[in-house]
Amino acid sequence: MPPFHIKFMPEDRIIDVEDGTSLLEAAAKAEIFIKSGCGGKGTCGACKVVVLSGDPLVTGTGNLTPEQISKGVRLACQTLIQGDMTIEVPPESRLQEHQVLMGDVHKGILQESKHDLLERFGHHPLATKLRISLSVPTLTENTSDWARLNMELRRVLKAEDKPIHIPLSVLKHLPESLRKANWDVSVTLTEIDSGFTVTRVEPGNDHPPYGLAIDIGTTTVVVYLINLLTGEIEEQQGSYNKQAKYGDDVISRIVYAVENEEHLLGIQHAVVDTINELIDKIIARKSISNLDISSAIVAGNTTMTQLFLGVDPRYIRLEPYIPTMTSVPSVPAREIGLHMIPEALVHCYPSVASYVGGDIVAGTLVTDLANGEDIILFIDIGTNGEIVLGNQDWLVTCACSAGPSFEGGGITFGMRAMPGAIERVIIDSETLDVSLKVINNLPPVGICGSGLVDCMAKLLGAGIIDRAGNFQLAHHSGSERIRATPDDKEFVLAWAHQSGGKKDVVITENDVKNVIRAKGAIYAGIRSLLNMVAVDIEMISRIVIAGGFGNYLNVHDSVQIGLLPDLDTDRFEFIGNSSVKGARLALLSQNAWREAEELGRKMTYVELSVGATFMDEYVSALFLPHTDLSLFPSCQ
Ligand code: FES
């Protein structure tokens, strides 16, 4: 059967797909990323599309209403193609405009980290490239090609003790490589503790060697191209993780991956494809070759790391939550299929536990947390709030499930930080008039995590909610903005005529309670770690906040609602995408990479579900800012 033409609107993009392909897969093939919270099981309802023409096979309609169905709305994951079609993908079903956190992209309220630790660790990259001129063999000077090269490399590298390996794939081409280059060659080598490995021999040139720092996030992937000679970031690209079509979060990805070998392979290929596309864009922009890329370091959470390597992640989600490995073997790029020198090594950051991964170890390295007497708190806020506390003598870490509220999940008008999202809220406590700051200055369509924190603080400040998050309708009966609905109570942030979706954008009492639970989990995680090591909050000298949401956070409002500890604002610091920064640092410094591996071993993981401490702290934190106001003196 010939492939069918599927047109996606409003892009007007046409692709060809085979009979029986789901619309969700077809959309991914067309580079249109559709939300898929349940990983294509037909239960979450996130993947709604509108069939404008065509006659697909519908295998399920989930919770679609008869009215939606009559208007052509279908679940993309439950709709199979059996002929030509035209599909509209509505904005609310799309992933593609989410801001990819490239690094120091946003000048936050407080300063970004200015720490570049390369000076301290020393610039000594994991891969190097040498220009080597060899003597031409003769009848009397007739050592083998490899012995001749090996001897010269040993002399230049001053590597008396360390072995120099050459893989068979490079050895096979060595005779021609040397002779074609007239014995003037450039040799790329990887250096790790056990010795050097020759990864490429090419005609002599002075092009610099490059490395890749890669952050694999559950939602987005970021790749930096690093000049290994200068340490400069010469190019950077980011995009959605193509695994998104298998589910929005790590749990749905694991559930999909462990169904069978084919799924595991498919989900591995999805992330490798994502990275390769970013690499291809980078090399096209820089006019360099894939074969100029001589090493890569990957930082990601434990599930992302295992899926990148194709390692079965099933036990990560089953009690007692055991990852396959914490220290990860380095593998040649050809084994993964990355577009770089095939024999070049790809290194993955070690993880600490199933829910504290290499991205957190990378963040811990770049915060320089383990290198002084001062006690530092590092927080990465996402669906999981990962927290590290410590100094040069001790390090403790935990992960607390904050839920998806700060990423827009479970909130009536919640959305990720993308154009049209409310990120700042001001409420006049007399009139209840509202001023909003919206990303890209568009009419508002929803509210993102930092907007929610702002909004909560302002609702509390204006007396619209009490400390338990209950709406105070009786106190504001004169205002149209605060109202009761059949199921809930709500406050209108933007009226329909002002909003991008042409409907009132509201925050409900239920939304407020969800945010309180999310912030309560993070604060309880912080307190649990502090209790465990008997450290008082005042003893923390620096609080470093990483992650997409953290980067846009208003510290004052975060303290007012009890998300962050009540300390002077000058102790807070935003570090942006600490995962990719940690990957860059380790790529450029053998010492940094050794310390990263050491950090992974040194961190003590605290399982919060064991014992009553976390639950007690959590219950106490379900107030704004807290049941114990002595912890928040500036809020009294
Ligand atoms: Fe289609 Fe969840 S309903 S992905």
Q: Tell how strand 233-240 and strand 345-348 pair up.
A: unpaired
Q: How far apart are CA 477 and CA 315, in angstroms?
A: 53
Cis peptide before 625 (omega within 30 of 0): yes
Residues within a 6 A CB radius of ligand 1: 36-38, 40, 42-47, 62, 75, 77
pLDDT for position 550: 63
- Structural tokens at position 530: 């502090």
Highest mean pLDDT among 31-40, 83-92, 411-420, 626-635: 626-635
Is residue 356 very low, low, confident or very high in pLDDT (cuts 50, 70, 90)?
Answer: very high
Identify which of 68, 77, 87 to mutate to test ligand 1's pocket (most ligand atoms within 8 A of the CB): 77
Q: Which atom of ligand 1 is closest in space to residue 77's alpha carbon?
A: 1
Ligand 1 centre to CA of 4 (Å) is 23
Q: What is the pLDDT of residue 108?
A: 31
- Is the CB of residue 546 less than 8 Å from the CB of residue 539? no
Dihedral of alpha carbons 228, 233, 235, 237, sign:
positive
Mean pLDDT along residues 148-165: 91
Q: What is the pLDDT of residues 58-81, one digit of tens each?
A: 999 988 888 889 999 999 999 999
Taking the CA of residue 47 as reference, the ligand 1 atom at the shortest distance is 1
Mutate to test the pocket of ligand 1, among 33, 43, 68 (most ligand atoms within 8 A of CB): 43
CA distance 352 to 302: 8
Is 570's pLDDT higher than 70? Answer: yes
Helix H or strand E encompassing 375? strand 375-381
Q: What mean pLDDT is reported for the chain?
A: 91
- Ligand 1 atom at minimum distance from 37 CA: 2
> Is the pLDDT at 586 greater than 90, yes or no?
yes
- What pLDDT score does 107 carry? 33
How far does residue 98's CA lie from ligand 1's centre (Å)?
Answer: 19
Spell out the domain ranges in the chain: 4-93, 97-103+124-348, 352-636
Residue type, 440: N
The rounded radius of gyration (Å) of the Cα atoms in the chain is 27
Place of tokens 């990275």: 275
Which pLDDT band holds residue 478 (cuts at 50, 70, 90)? confident
Q: What is the CA(265)–ligand 1 centre distance, in A?
A: 21
Q: What is the pLDDT of residue 258?
A: 95
Å from CA of 255 to ligand 1 middle: 14
What is the distance, to the nearest Å, from the Cα of residue 351 to the centroid of all Cα atoms in its chain? 15
Atom of ligand 1 nearest to the CA of 40: 4
**pLDDT on residue 129:** 97
Q: What percent of the chain has pLDDT over 70?
A: 96
What are the pLDDT digits (tens) for 519-569?
Answer: 999 999 999 999 999 999 999 999 999 976 666 789 999 999 999 999 999
| Angle of the 509-532 helix axis to the 449-461 helix axis, nearest 10 | 100
Q: Which atom of ligand 1 is nearest to the CA of 76?
A: 1
CATH assignment of 4-93? 3.10.20.30
DSSP code per residue over 377-402: EEEEESSEEEEEEE-SS-EEEEEEE-
- Report which of 141, 35, 54 is spatially closest to residue 96, judged by C-alpha positions: 35
**b or e along 159-184 (b: 16 or more beta carbons within 10 Å of the residue's beta carbon)?**
eeeeebbbeeebeeebeebbeebebe
* Distance (Å) of CA 67 to CA 17, 36, 72, 277, 407: 29, 22, 9, 40, 29
Q: Strands 79-80 and 57-58, how do they pair?
A: antiparallel
Note the pLDDT tens digit of each residue in 242-254.
998 888 789 989 9
Q: Are 585 and 121 in contact (CB under 8 A)?
A: yes
Whole-number Å distance, alpha carbon 412 to ligand 1 midpoint, is 18
| Residues 609, 319 contacting (CB under 8 angstroms) | no
User: Is the Cα torsion angle 133, 137, 141, 145 positive or negative in sign?
Assistant: positive
Q: Distance from the CA of 42 to the center of ligand 1, in angstroms?
A: 4
**Distance from first CA to last CA of the chain, Å, rounded?**
72
Looking at the predicted structure, is the pLDDT value of residue 500 above 90?
Answer: no
CA contacts within 13 A on the Cβ side of 144: 5
Q: Is the dihedral of CA 258, 261, 266, 271 positive or negative?
A: positive
Q: What letter would DSSP give residue 63?
A: T
Query: Nearest C-alpha to atom 3 of ligand 1 is from which residue?
Result: 42
Ligand 1 centroid distance, CA of 36 (Å): 5
CA-CA distance, 168 to 166, in Å (whole number)?
7
* 254 close to 296: Cβ distance less than 8 angstroms: no
Query: Does the pLDDT value for residue 261 go beyond 70?
Result: yes
Residue 362 banded pLDDT, cuts 50, 70, 90: very high
Of ligand 1's listed atoms, the one at least distance from the Cα of 35 is 4
CA distance 544 to 370: 13
Do β-strands 220-227 and 195-203 pair in parallel, antiparallel, or remain unpaired? unpaired
Distance 124 CA to ligand 1 centre (A): 47
* Residue 294 contacts residue 315 (beta carbons within 8 Å): no
Left (φ > 0), alpha (ψ -120 to 50) or beta: where does 432 sit? Answer: left
Instruction: Choose which residue among 25, 34, 38, 255 to substitute to test ligand 1 binding: the one with the highest number of ligand atoms within 8 A of its C-beta.
Output: 38
Banded pLDDT at 116 (limits 50, 70, 90): low
| CATH 3.40.50.720, domain 97-103+124-348, yes or no | no
Is residue 549 within 8 Å of 382, Cβ to Cβ?
Answer: yes
Q: In whole angstroms, what is the distance from residue 562 CA to residue 502 CA? A: 33
Q: Which of 426, 423, 401 lies closest to 414 in space, CA to CA?
A: 423
Q: What's the CA gap between 380 and 369, in Å, rounded?
A: 14
Query: Complex ipTM, two decimals?
Result: 0.99
Which atom of ligand 1 is the closest one to the Cα of 75? 1
Burial 345-356 (b: 16+ CB within 10 A, else e): bbbbbbbbbbbb
Instruction: Indicate the top mutation candidate among 75, 89, 92 to test ligand 1's pocket, ranked by most ligand atoms within 8 A of CB.
Output: 75
- Write the CB contacts of 486 (distance below 8 Å, at least 6 apart in sequence): none
Q: How far apart are CA 498 and CA 496, in angstroms?
A: 5
Instruction: Report how far ligand 1's centroid is from the alpha carbon of 262 (Å).
Output: 20
- Whether 6 and 14 have beta carbons less than 8 Å apart is answered as yes
What's residue 30's pLDDT?
Answer: 85
Lowest mean pLDDT among 328-332, 408-412, 494-498: 408-412
Strand-by-strand arrangement of the 482-484 sheet:
482-484, 489-494, 505-508
At 101, the pLDDT band (50, 70, 90 cuts) reads low
Mean pLDDT calculated for residue range 267-289? 97
The Å distance, Cα 247 to ligand 1 centre, comes to 8
pLDDT digit string, tens, across residues 263-277: 999 999 999 999 999
Q: Which is the closest atom of ligand 1 to the Cα of 42?
A: 3
pLDDT at 104 over 60: no
Q: Of ligand 1's atoms, which has the minimum distance to the CA of residue 62?
A: 3
The mean per-residue pLDDT over the stretch 154-172 comes to: 92
Identify whether the C-beta of residue 401 lies closer than 8 Å to the C-beta of residue 408.
Answer: no
* Contacts of residue 145, Cβ cutoff 8 Å, sequence gap at least 6: 137, 174, 175, 178
472-499 average pLDDT score:
92
